Amino acid sequence: MKKAEANLSYSAKIEAAVSHILQEYSTRLSVGVILGTGLGQLIDNITINHTIAYKDIPHFPVSTVETHSGELVFGELNGVPVVAMKGRFHYYEGYSMKEVTFPVRVMQRLGIKKLIVSNAAGGLDPEFEVGDVMMINDHIDLFPENPLRGKNLDDFGVRFPDMSEPYDSNMLDAAWAIARKEEINAHQGVYAGVQGPNLETKAEYRYLRTIGADAVGMSTVPEVIVARQMELPVFAMSAITDLCAPGKVKKISIQEVIAAAAIAEPKMTRIIAGLISDGE
């Protein structure tokens, strides 16, 4: 990297990425979508107008997880202009929280008015089954770093953003109505965000359940914090890919996680596609 580029401020890097994207695709955007592990089926519902590889966007991180593609997809879903991230970034990959959340800043600068996030998670609620879906109504941040740490980016929001309602109640209500209409057995609950990449011990699962979590995963919370600082409404869903309640814990591989996500994926796709259409 050139020395001048290395010395760019974080805000300047965001603007450089935005400028590059706008040179390739300048259509107005309404909704940003972050697709989690094994949850890329929503792309099939998008009329794709353009794609840009992460590696071609200045200062954009590149996913190192084999199940995550690395490109921005621009198009329309039921007439609504969207940008979808095929592949996200995780703290456990070695990125800083500012790098993990860089794409959310970029999408906001591209004009999105709301953010929709999906993830794969372990189910702590004993009522959950593999392949269930959970709409996130709150979270517990257990990451060792906060994406807002350091000098505040005043152009993006206040120093101390309120987090009493991180997930938009209107979108939650609308998604719940869609699930009922589609006869999808969905849940609502609290998501605990941990750094990973290892899965938790049985004692840690008990601890997470004790402090109020219904599901646990290694993403989402940083992106939501940044989105809320920028006053972007957020809706998030988890695909329950393994069971973590006492008596249900067993060894699990990434292949089993992907297979479980595939069970939940059609349900999540129907809810999110309906939510995007209803919300425009």
Q: Other CB atoms closer than 10 Å to residue 195's CB: what's the count? A: 13
What gap in Å lies between CA 182 and CA 195, rounded to an integer?
34
More confident residue, 220 or 4: 220
Using the predicted structure, report yes or no on whether residue 277 has a pLDDT greater than 90.
no
Higher per-residue pLDDT: 64 or 86 = 86
pLDDT band at 69; cut points 50, 70, 90:
low
CATH superfamily of 3-279: Nucleoside phosphorylase domain (3.40.50.1580)
**CA–centroid distance for 43 within its chain:** 15
Note whether 238 and 120 are within 8 A (CB): yes
Q: What element of type H or E holds 260?
A: helix 254-279
Instruction: Tell me the residue type at 269.
Output: T
pLDDT per position as a tens digit, 138-184: 999 999 999 999 999 999 999 999 999 999 999 999 999 999 999 99
Q: Could you give the C-alpha distances from 92 to 79, 82, 194, 197, 230, in angstroms and in order?
A: 36, 28, 9, 6, 24
* Residues 6 or more apart in contact with residue 21 via CB below 8 angstroms: 52, 57, 72, 106, 110
Percentage of the chain beyond pLDDT 70 is 94
Residue 254 has pLDDT above 90, yes or no: no
Indicate the pLDDT class of residue 2, thresholds 50, 70 and 90: very low
pLDDT at position 191, please?
98
User: Which of the residue ranges 52-61, 114-123, 196-205, 258-267 would you say has the lowest mean pLDDT?
Assistant: 258-267
275, 239, 252, 254: which is closest to 31 by C-alpha?
Answer: 275
In this predicted structure, the answer to whether residue 243 has a pLDDT above a threshold of 50 is: yes
Q: What pLDDT is attached to residue 78? A: 86
pLDDT digits (tens, 9 = 90+) for 72-125: 999 999 889 999 998 889 999 999 999 999 999 999 999 999 999 999 999 999
| 262 touches 120 (CB < 8 A) | no
